[in-house]
């Protein structure tokens, strides 16, 4: 098991380094950095001065390593647009995106697991079909459109919840629903399959034959086993949500990481863009690693491979 | 705001801690802002890259500048009279020397006394190249400033500049010399201070700015002491999100509401809508000078004329913008001094003529061009529609203003939809001279025009000025360097608990607002 | 976005690579049994019918559309659809803010969505299948390298990278297709790899080897046809994914550029009217949803036909 974890960890670190190369390239594809830093009104001499001062005249490999060393220390340089360092901007925004992600995941879990369990218990009834339909529709609805619909209905027409901003916890509800909705179908399906599998297993049959009540069988024995892979999936989904929150944040004008990235993209502020890409990717890699470990603990077959 | 000296590791720890706290209690900031807690929340689309007024050229920055800073003189928006503000009086020694007697007892927000040193420092700083201010035209008529005594300053002009007072009551706020030298531009952009009726309490980068009433504001100011205690400026890039948040009561005031939505909002309870014409005009900028664009079809005058004929200006002003918008043919706003509407050629909407001109220019089947815009995507799309009618296929690049400006100065922008509000300066020099006097954003660099505008800007005699502007406008218009299209109206929508009066100079004066 | 995994059978991309259960064994059904199944499978049937309608509408858009979708008429702007009391038969779904016929734009928009979905799925299909087959067939170091590439690709936030790249090169139809094609190949690779692994030691491959067939012959003529049915399921899923992503990119203003009538762009343009004239976003939004739903139903149905044991 330890060997497995160690190997997975190595892979994760390797992937993180590869991703860092990609996001480094992203910055360099965006044009001449010295010109960008110097600003539009600078002379050619000033540009050259900056090129030397920022080490941009060095070979690209050397630049990458000095960038990586700073990046590991969470120093991503300075925004082209604002007077702030990239890290200042990110540390202001990250909590908002994390709150949104956590809340969205919470909502998705609290809907998906009961629905999945219900669908499994009542297999092939209308409840099962309804659950499946919700899942299928959920996968088909464009997230930005769903978010807009939520605003029109619950904020503007019913006045139940605020339409945007992030000053109170109420402001997070609609965005979290919009974001969580997309993680829900996969989690529900997995709960359902897991439950069906477990409910048909020998050991549940034994439990039933012992005369345990159906509630006890379902909740105490079956659910506990069926839910662990869902937890692993939830970790992965959280990673996706951090990447996908850009749309939701823009629609709800939540000042999170996604909005920061989007604003930065439209202002050609590439130091910010690359930092956000890297941070989200690293989060994702870490969450995936967690998911892998959970899955491996469950399924010893995986460890051999 | 994070202190620079702290290590990044600490930043990270703080971030994690923050997220935990945020997760637990989901943010602590103020709840609904309105009359009950004496906070007016206003929202707009862009955040100034730097709150320091000389270092951005966004309207949001101009608003903040008038709220937290004072200028030497004050132009009364209703009478257009110049009144003393930080200066008690002024006198022209000759056509290039202007002496100001300054007001005593004025304090900056940090308690420092205001004196001649601050004025001299401000002007000498902004004219220096190191200051890297954004709109150099606003101050390039100043050579330097001299301290005469503690409360007297002499402004030395490069050459006669009759519009001086107009500028000195607009885009030239006075900075605190001592404080600015201490913190530098970087520190100043995060914690700026001025002498204005409101003080900036917090700059939230990319999110907004919080302001609070300056209770020590000097009594004799022509600007009234504000009635509303707190202001919050929020950046909400998405126009529809602004609308939604106004309707749900999260924010109290928005502007630039499209007329279609403004008409609907007038019927909603709890909201007030007011429209006012503004000095901002929308125009197509055509690059005819960049080396990178030397093969551009727009270098042909006939093509530029064709574009001028292709746009139905009345459709924009009467159908799309409405609310007092007018069709514009001049490279300036008609009420501005020197903006002679008679001098400009009136290009009527005529598709056939436009097509004929294009054919004559050698493009019978039209051509393809890149097209840039940063505001009102729907208007940009309508322009593309008109261009396509005469066979010009425009590929839209929609981006933020700062990015557009960078690309434009790099010579990548053959055609763009732009707008200019003249910094609310009621003088043609604030627009025509900014874009046609050979500066960095001059898309024509026409020597004849540059010479005429030089005369117009530096002459003391109003008639000479008028004549020179007229000739410049005539030449710009005949050469079709620009496609002036329409003036903007601004629709303001706000909570009906708020008393608010809009002015045509597109400068909301929140210090005049009260709760009903 | 979350769709990447929602449909995949296994919970994490890394374990998807190693999991033996990634996809059901491909069955080669005789066509009659398939037809019966098809008619019996409600989801597949409904999905195919809807999809068929949309495809026909897209193909025949120039004949079906009552107006030119690009011609603006400022005096005829914001006419409501026919069911509204102010609607007219002249413009059945009304007009947009520039007076362009909404129905015509919707029909032409179907072309854009389908073109992007299909071509992007094909590009990514070629990339992903090639990588997956190579990894599955050769195993060992090849497999390790390719698995590593797949894992790296999965770690990149698709939407963010797509937006950043779109901003760099500028949005256009071709750009969106290429970009999505280059980004969405991961699931093809995962499925191709695991199905190939299962078939690698099958008898027909072994006999082809004995007969002295070249590796490329084995891969293309023997192996590929046998994993195709599994890949077709992935194509449908990735088509849906690409269509949604295009809509999202266009909605954010970095995808297909106006005046092209992409459905995502139509929602974005109609957004200003959503509070007072909600049909402006409802029409393209619901159409988009129906299209993706239909494709997903077809995909799910095809998967069920391949692996009849379980719905998941």
Q: State the Cα–Cα distance between residues A251 and C251, nearest whole angstrom.
A: 10
In angstroms, the separation between the Cα of residue C140 and the nearest Cα of chain A is 12
Residue B125 has pLDDT above 80, yes or no: yes
- Partner-chain contact C72 B385, CB within 8 Å: yes
Q: What number of C-beta contacts closer than 8 Å exist between A and B?
A: 136
Q: Contact, C12 vs A291, CB < 8 A?
A: yes
Instruction: Report the 3 state secondary structure along B286-354.
Output: ECCCCHHHCCCHHHCHHHHHHHHHHCCHHHHHHHHHCCCCCECCCCCCCCCECCCCCCCCCCCCCHHHH
Answer yes or no: are the C-beta atoms of B170 and B113 closer than 8 Å: no
Question: What's the mean pLDDT when you consider all of chain C?
Answer: 82
Work out how many domains chain C is built from and give that number.
1
Mutate to test the interface with A, among C1, C2, C136, C265 (most CBs of A within 10 A): C2
Identify the CA nearest to B206 among candidates A264, C289, C19, A27.
A264
CB contact under 8 A, B440 and A41: yes
Q: Which of A144-153, B9-18, C3-12, C150-159 has the highest mean pLDDT?
A: A144-153
Which residues 349-408 of chain B have a CB within 8 Å of chain A?
399-400, 402-403, 405-406
Closest CA to B243 of A143, A93, A251: A251
Tokens describing residue B303? 């093509």
- Alpha carbon of A116: minimum distance to chain C alpha carbons (Å): 12
Residue in chain B lying closest to A82 (CA): B49
Interface check for A260 against chain C (CB to CB < 8 A): the answer is no
- What gap in Å lies between CA B161 and CA B425, rounded to an integer? 14
- The per-residue pLDDT for C309 is 44
- Helices A223-251, A184-199: axis angle to 10 degrees equals 170
**CB-CB under 8 Å, A168 with B15:** no
CA of B397: which chain A residue's CA is closest? A266
Which 3 state secondary structure label does DSSP give C216? helix
Give the position of tokens 């008038």. Answer: B66
Rounded alpha-carbon distances, angstroms, from residue B144 to B97, B141, B458, B491? 10, 9, 17, 40
CB A93 within 8 A of CB A259: yes
Q: Which of B259, B343, B310, B277 is nearest to B486 (CA)?
A: B277
Chain A closest-CA separation from residue B27 CA (Å): 6
Neighboring chain B residues of A159 at a CB cutoff of 8 Å: 248
* Core vs surface per residue C134-170: b (16+ CB within 10 A) or e: bbbbeeeeebeebbbbbbbbbbbbbbbbbbbbbbbee
Best of A147, A167, A263 to disrupt the B interface (most B CBs within 10 Å) is A167
Assign a CATH topology to domain B52-192.
Answer: Dipeptide-binding Protein; domain 1 (3.90.76)
Mean pLDDT to the nearest integer, C55-67: 93
Residues C223-270: tens digit of each pLDDT? 888 888 889 889 998 999 999 999 998 888 888 888 888 898 899 888
User: With an 8 Å Cβ cutoff, are A291 and C11 in contact?
Assistant: yes
How far apart are the C-alpha atoms of B249 and B74, rounded to whole Å? 34
What is the spatial distance between Cα C27 and Cα B134, in angstroms, rounded to a whole number? Answer: 68
Q: Which positions in chain A touch C158 (Cβ < 8 Å)?
A: 243
The mean pLDDT value for B417-434 works out to 88
Sequential DSSP letters for B63-119:
HHHHHH---SEEE-TTT--EEESSEEEEEEEETTEEEEEEPSS-B-TTSPBP-HHHH
- How confident is the model at residue B5, as a pLDDT? 39
Task: Measure Cα distances from B379 to B386, B431, C102, C264 in Å.
Answer: 11, 21, 18, 19
Question: What's the pLDDT at A42?
Answer: 62
Distance in angstroms (rounded) separating the CA atoms of residues A275 and A24: 9
Q: How many CA atoms lie within 13 A of A198 on its CB side?
A: 23
Task: For chain C, say whether A101 makes contact (Cβ under 8 Å).
Answer: no
Quote the minimal CA–CA distance from B152 to chain A in Å. Answer: 34
C267 in a domain, yes or no?
yes
Q: Tell if the CB–CB gap between C15 and A291 is shorter than 8 Å.
A: yes
Cβ distance of A236 and C248 shorter than 8 Å: no
Tell me the pLDDT band of C131, cut-offs 50, 70 and 90.
very high
Report yes or no: B123 and B145 within 8 Å, Cβ to Cβ. yes
Domain A87-302 has CATH 1.10.3720.10: yes
Are the C-beta atoms of C98 and B385 separated by less than 8 Å? Answer: yes
Per-residue pLDDT, B312: 95
d(CA B42, CA B510): 10
Predicted confidence (pLDDT) at residue B253 exceeds the cutoff of 90: yes
Are the CB atoms for B226 and B198 separated by under 8 Å? yes
Taking the Cβ of residue A123 and every Cβ of chain C, the question of whether any pair is shorter than 8 Å is answered with no
**B388 neighbourhood in chain C, CB within 8 Å:** 70, 259
Query: What percent of chain B stands above pLDDT 70?
Result: 93
For chain C, the straight-line distance linking the first and the last C-alpha, in angstroms and rounded, comes to 20
Can you give the pLDDT at residue C180?
93
Question: The domain B278-489: what is its CATH number?
Answer: 3.10.105.10
CB nearest C167 (choices: A266, A284, A301): A266
| Residues 6 or more apart in contact with residue B250 via CB below 8 angstroms | A162, A163, A164, A165, A167, B32, B33, B41
φ, ψ of residue C119 in degrees (nearest 5): -70, -40
Does the residue C110 lie in any domain? Answer: yes
Q: Which residue has the tokens 């790249």?
A: C165
Q: At CB < 8 Å, which residues of chain C contact B?
A: 70-72, 74-75, 77-78, 97-98, 170, 172, 253, 257-259, 269, 271-276
Q: Which helix (H) or strand (E) holds B490?
A: strand B482-495
The CA distances from residue A221 to A208, A212, A216, B35, C214, in Å, are 10, 10, 7, 56, 53
Instruction: Count CB atoms within 10 A of the CB of residue B184.
Output: 9
Q: Residue B215: its pLDDT value, please?
A: 93
Q: What is the tens place of the pLDDT at every residue in A39-84?
A: 655 667 777 877 887 777 888 888 888 888 888 888 888 887 787 8
Contact status, residue B192 vs residue B180, Cβ threshold 8 Å: no
Q: Is residue C221 part of a domain?
A: yes
Range C26-34, long-range pairs (CB < 8 A, 24+ positions): C26/C195, C26/C226, C26/C227, C26/C228, C26/C229, C26/C230, C26/C306, C27/C229, C27/C305, C27/C306, C27/C307, C28/C226, C28/C229, C29/C305, C34/C305
E strand or H helix at B371? strand B367-373
pLDDT band at C36 (very low <50, low <70, confident <90, very high): low
- Contact present, B300 and B468 (Cβ < 8 Å): no
Q: How far apart are CA A197 and CA A211, in angstroms?
A: 20
- Tell me the per-residue pLDDT of B451-482, one tens digit each, with 9 for 90 and over: 999 999 888 888 999 999 999 999 999 999 99
Query: Between B453 and A130, where is the model more confident?
Result: B453
Mean pLDDT for chain B overall: 88
The DSSP result for C230-270, as a single string, is HHHHHHHHHHHHHHHHHHHHHHTTSSSPTTS--HHHHHHHH
CATH 3.90.76.10, chain B: domain bounds = 52-192
The predicted-structure confidence for B28-53, as pLDDT tens digits, reads as follows 333 445 677 899 999 998 888 899 99
pLDDT tens profile B137-168: 889 999 999 999 999 999 999 988 888 998 99
Q: Which domain holds residue C242?
A: 40-306
Q: Is the pLDDT of residue B22 over 50?
A: no
CA distance B306 to B284: 13
All partners of chain B with 3 or more CB pairs under 8 angstroms? A, C
3-state secondary structure of B483: strand
User: Is 50 exceeded by the pLDDT of residue B20?
Assistant: no
The answer to whether B135 and B52 are in contact (CB under 8 A) is no
Confidence at C35, pLDDT banded by 50, 70, 90: low
Does B12 have pLDDT greater than 70?
no
Cβ distance C18 to A305 less than 8 Å, yes or no, reads: yes
Closest Cβ–Cβ partner in B320, B382, B398 for C253: B398
* pLDDT reported for residue C39: 65
pLDDT tens across C1-28, in order? Answer: 333 333 333 333 333 333 333 344 444 4
End-to-end CA distance of chain A: 11
Backbone dihedral angles phi then psi of residue C56, each to the nearest 5 degrees: -60, -45
Spatial separation of the C-alpha atoms in residues C56 and C64, rounded to whole Å:
10
Domain ranges across chain A: 1-73, 87-302
Nearest alpha-carbon partner for B46 in B29, B32, B58, B34? B58
B residues 16-75 closer than 8 Å to A (CB): 18-19, 21-23, 25-27, 29-31, 49-50
Mean pLDDT, rounded, for B226-230:
94
Rounded to an integer, the average pLDDT of C289-309 is 82
- Is B384 close to C269, i.e. CB distance below 8 A? no
Section A109-126 average pLDDT: 86
CA-wise closest residue to A229 among A135, A304, A296, A138: A296
Nearest-CB residue to C2 (from A19, A241, A261): A241
Nearest CA in chain B to A264: B400
Q: How far is A257 from chain B (nearest CA, A)?
A: 12
Kindly state the tokens that stand for B274.
Answer: 């007011």
Q: What is the mean pLDDT of chain A?
A: 83
Question: Where do the DSSP E strands lie in B150-229?
Answer: 152-157, 198-204, 208-213
Yes or no, beta carbons of B382 and C70 under 8 Å apart: no
> Tokens 């979290």 — which residue?
A176
pLDDT exceeds 90 at position B333: yes
Higher pLDDT among residues C173 and B120, named by residue: B120
Token pair for A63: 């630049």
This model of the complex carries an ipTM of 0.84
Q: How far apart are CA C9 and CA C6, in angstroms?
A: 8
Q: Which of C156, C253, C254 sits opposite A22 (nearest CB)?
A: C156
The closest alpha carbon to A140, from C121, C300, C50, C293, belongs to C293
Q: Report the range of poorest mean pLDDT among A118-132, B55-69, B373-387.
A: A118-132
Question: Above pLDDT 90, what percent of chain B?
Answer: 66
Is the CB of B26 less than 8 angstroms away from the CB of A96?
no
SS3 for A166-178 is: CCCHHHHHHHHHH
């Amino acid at each position: 098991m330890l060997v497995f974890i160690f190997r997975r960890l190595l892979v994760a670190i390797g992937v993180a380094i590869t991703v860092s190369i990609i996001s480094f390239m992203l910055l360099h594809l965006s044009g001449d950095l010295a010109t960008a830093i110097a600003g539009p009104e600078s002379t050619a001499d000033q540009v050259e001065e900056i090129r030397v001062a920022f080490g941009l005249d060095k070979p690209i490999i050397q630049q990458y390593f000095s960038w990586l060393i700073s990046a590991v220390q969470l120093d991503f340089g300075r925004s082209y647009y604002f007077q702030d360092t990239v890290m200042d901007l990110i540390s202001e925004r990250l909590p908002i995106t994390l709150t949104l992600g956590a809340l969205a995941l919470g909502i998705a879990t609290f809907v998906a697991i009961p629905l999945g369990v219900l669908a499994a218990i009542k297999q092939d009834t209308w409840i099962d079909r309804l659950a499946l339909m919700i899942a299928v529709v959920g996968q088909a609805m464009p997230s930005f459109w769903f978010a807009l619909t939520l605003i029109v209905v619950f904020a503007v027409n019913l006045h139940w919840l605020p339409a945007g901003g992030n000053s109170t916890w109420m402001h997070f509800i609609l965005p979290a629903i919009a974001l969580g909705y997309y993680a829900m179908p996969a989690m529900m399906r997995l709960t359902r399959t897991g439950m069906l599998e477990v409910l048909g297993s020998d050991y549940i049959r034994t439990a039933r034959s012992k005369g345990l009540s159906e509630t006890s069988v379902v909740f105490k024995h079956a659910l506990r086993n069926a839910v662990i892979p869902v937890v692993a999936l939830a970790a992965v989904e959280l990673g996706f949500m951090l990447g996908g929150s850009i749309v939701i944040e823009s629609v709800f004008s939540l000042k999170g990481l996604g909005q920061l990235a989007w604003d930065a993209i439209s202002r050609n502020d590439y130091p910010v863009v690359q930092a956000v890409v890297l941070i989200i990717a690293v989060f994702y890699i870490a969450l995936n690693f967690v998911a892998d470990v959970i899955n491996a603990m469950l399924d010893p077959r995986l460890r051999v491979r | 705001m994070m202190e620079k000296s702290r290590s990044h590791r600490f930043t990270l720890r703080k971030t994690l801690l923050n997220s935990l706290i945020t997760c637990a209690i989901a943010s602590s900031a103020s709840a609904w802002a309105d009359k009950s807690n004496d906070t007016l929340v206003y929202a707009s689309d862009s955040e100034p890259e730097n709150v320091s007024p000389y270092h951005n050229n966004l309207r949001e920055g101009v608003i903040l500048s008038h709220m937290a800073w004072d200028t030497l003189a004050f132009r009364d928006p209703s009478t257009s009279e110049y009144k003393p503000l930080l200066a008690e009086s002024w006198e022209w020694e000759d056509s290039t020397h202007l002496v100001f007697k300054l007001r005593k007892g004025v304090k900056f927000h940090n308690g420092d006394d205001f004196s001649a040193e601050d004025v001299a420092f401000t002007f000498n700083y902004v004219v220096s190249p190191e200051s890297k201010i954004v709109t150099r035209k606003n101050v390039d008529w100043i050579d330097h400033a001299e301290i005469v005594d503690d409360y007297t300053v002499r402004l030395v002009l490069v050459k006669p500049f009759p519009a001086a007072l107009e500028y000195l009551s607009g885009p030239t706020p006075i900075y605190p010399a001592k404080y600015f030298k201490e913190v530098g531009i970087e520190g100043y952009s995060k914690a700026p201070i001025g002498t204005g009726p409101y003080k900036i309490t917090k700059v939230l980068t990319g999110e907004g700015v919080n302001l609070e009433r300056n209770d020590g504001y000097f009594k004799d100011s022509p600007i009234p002491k504000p009635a509303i205690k707190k202001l919050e400026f929020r950046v909400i890039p998405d126009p529809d999100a602004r609308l939604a948040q106004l309707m749900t009561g999260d924010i109290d005031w928005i502007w630039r509401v499209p007329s279609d939505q403004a008409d609907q909002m007038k019927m909603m309870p709890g909201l007030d809508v007011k429209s006012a014409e503004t000095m901002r005009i929308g125009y197509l900028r055509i690059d005819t000078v960049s080396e990178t664009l030397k093969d551009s079809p727009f270098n042909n005058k006939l093509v530029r004329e064709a574009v001028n004929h292709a746009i139905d200006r009345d459709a924009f002003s009467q159908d799309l913008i409405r609310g007092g918008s007018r069709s514009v043919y001049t490279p300036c706003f008609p009420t501005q001094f020197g903006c002679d509407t008679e001098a400009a050629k009136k290009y009527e909407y005529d598709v056939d003529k436009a097509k004929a001109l294009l054919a004559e220019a050698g493009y019978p089947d039209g051509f393809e061009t890149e097209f840039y815009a940063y505001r009102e995507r729907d208007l940009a799309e309508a322009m593309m529609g008109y261009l396509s009618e005469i066979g010009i296929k425009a590929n839209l690049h929609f981006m933020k203003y700062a990015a557009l400006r960078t690309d434009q100065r790099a010579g990548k922008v053959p055609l763009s939809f732009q707008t200019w509000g003249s910094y609310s300066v009621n003088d043609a020099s604030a627009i025509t001279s900014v874009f046609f006097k050979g500066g960095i954003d001059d898309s024509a660099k026409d020597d004849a025009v540059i010479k005429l505008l030089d005369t117009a800007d530096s002459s003391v005699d109003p008639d000479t000025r008028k004549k020179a502007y007229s000739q410049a406008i005539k030449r710009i218009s005949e050469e079709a360097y620009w496609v002036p299209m329409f003036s903007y109206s601004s629709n303001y929508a706000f909570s009906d608990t708020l008393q608010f009066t809009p002015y045509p100079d597109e400068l909301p004066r929140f210090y005049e607002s009260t709760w009903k | 976005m979350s769709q990447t995994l929602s449909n995949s059978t296994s919970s994490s991309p890394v374990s998807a690579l190693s999991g033996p259960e990634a996809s059901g064994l491909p069955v080669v059904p005789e066509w009659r049994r398939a037809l019966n199944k098809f008619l019996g499978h409600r989801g597949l049937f409904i999905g195919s019918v809807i999809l068929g309608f949309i495809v026909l509408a897209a193909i025949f858009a120039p004949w079906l559309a009552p107006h030119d979708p690009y011609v603006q008429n400022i005096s005829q702007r914001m006419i409501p659809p026919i069911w509204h009391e102010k609607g007219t038969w002249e413009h059945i779904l009304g007009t947009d803010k520039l007076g362009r016929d909404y129905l015509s734009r919707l029909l032409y928009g179907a072309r854009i969505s389908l073109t992007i979905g299909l071509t992007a799925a094909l590009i990514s299909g070629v990339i992903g299948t090639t990588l997956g087959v190579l990894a599955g067939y050769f195993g060992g170091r090849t497999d390790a390298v390719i698995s590593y590439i797949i894992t790296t690709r999965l770690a990149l936030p698709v939407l963010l990278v797509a937006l950043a790249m779109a901003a760099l090169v500028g949005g256009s139809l071709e750009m969106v297709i290429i970009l999505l094609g280059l980004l969405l190949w991961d699931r093809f690779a995962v499925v191709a790899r695991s199905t190939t692994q299962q078939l690698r030691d099958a008898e027909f491959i072994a006999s082809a080897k004995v007969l002295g067939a070249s590796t490329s012959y084995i891969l293309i003529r023997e192996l590929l046809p046998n994993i195709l049915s599994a890949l077709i399921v992935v194509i449908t899923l990735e088509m849906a994914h690409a269509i949604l992503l295009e809509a999202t990119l266009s909605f954010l203003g970095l995808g297909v550029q106006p005046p092209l009538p992409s459905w995502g762009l139509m929602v974005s343009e109609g957004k200003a009217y959503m509070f007072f004239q909600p049909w402006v976003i409802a029409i393209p939004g619901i159409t988009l949803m129906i299209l993706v739903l239909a494709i997903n139903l077809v995909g799910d149905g095809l998967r069920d036909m391949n692996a009849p044991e379980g719905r998941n």
